Structure 1
Amino acid sequence: MHKNWFWPVFLIASAVVLIVSQLGLFTLHVSIWSLLLTLILVAALISSLRYLNMPGVVFAIAFLAMIYAQPLGITKLVPWTILGAAVLLSIGLGLLIHPRYQYHYRYHNHDHAHYNQHNHDDVHESTSTINDDHVNLDLSLGNSIRYVHSENFRSADLNVSMAGAKIYFDDADIKEGQATINVDVSLGSLELYLPQTWQLQENLSNSMGHISSTGTPSTAGPGVILTGSVSLGELRIIYI
């Protein structure tokens, strides 16, 4: 079994950095909270670089720049300037460089179970099938793929923070005429794969994010209300 050494080594190194910093062996003096936040941002930066998640990379660097503005000599750049530049950079780089996902070839047996065959790209990510009429997902710091299998899908609450996620709803049936999908995307990217028969009604709050759709839905089918917010992230709706 392949062992992932990154997180154990990173956590051990972080503990060493915390101890050494409190002993006053660093020439750069920062508060314990700034140091903890730095470690979290560095972890997010490395994870985002691994999967080419451009919003995660850009905003991790932006927040690091704000924390260390004084030693970097960029105190004249107010936070809103840095965040504004980060939004433009993340959108621009996101259009040029797409997240590094695996390709999944999906087959259905008589019980509608999913079988995934990965390509030659050795990228590890969280993949699973959800068998529930009410879906609740909280995803952060990584890449995830979820297949929703439901005979009477009713609602979904999807929270994506500093991560990349793909959610497939093509194996979900709506029998009561209407369902609700609520999203909360911040510093990450979320892709929703919806059946073409679903009639989407969008009621989204967009705060310096990017929302787009691909494909054309049919003119008849169950209604789906899409609510929530996108903050410094990306939401893509793909009809399949």
Structure 2
Amino acid sequence: MNKRNTFWGLILIFISLTIMAEITGLIESYSIVRLAWTIILVAYAISKIFTLSFIPASIAGAIALNINAEYLNIEASNSIFIASILLGIGLTLLTKNMKRNKRRNKTVIINGKDIKFTTDKSFNTTSENIEGEDVYFENNFGDNSRYIQSNNLKTARIENNLGHSRVYFDNVTFNPQRAIVNAECNLGKITLYFPSNINLQNNLKTTLGSIKGPASFHTDDRYPTVFLDGECNLGEIEIVIL
């Protein structure tokens, strides 16, 4: 089980038990347990801010506000979660724009090597091919299909915000030494289509989201190994083997 899912699952279960215990009078109106979980949530939020992961940080902050609403003289409601999610999305998009402006049309260093990305950005419903050894695709609010074409794919980065990205790797020859596919999904869905003649190392992480499809597998030593990295925040990443 994913460690982040375990962490958030324990938090949500414990908060629900705390609320039920308060209602039945089993614990005091403001307990040490609630204070402890508030500290954990705030610490978690701060740690995510340092890594520029604003969506999970804002959700943790919203949970902390809700469980302490009575003592902060605010009303516990879904509006707090909606506002926090919107704040997280806004901050994520702003920081991504700053990173993207630095990266676009420039060479970056990954694993000690200089890499120039072939970039593609979309806000609409489109379908097109992307060629190159190192590719980057971003989708905001759209529904898109991208067909990667490469004879030596080394790196692919997919970023999806509030949309659905379908990325096909079935016509790709992966670099035999090391190929990295990085997927970041925020409140949307990414569907990745891989050929069957690969070995997959699935390192995807999720925060209140879901990852569907096969986990890591090793089929044949002759096949290239694809390292699948990234994070899913309040969305879904699906892996399909063709």
- After TM superposition, the score normalised by the length of structure 1 is 0.48
- After TM superposition, the score normalised by the length of structure 2 is 0.48
Give the number of the structure whose residues are more often helix, by fraction. 2
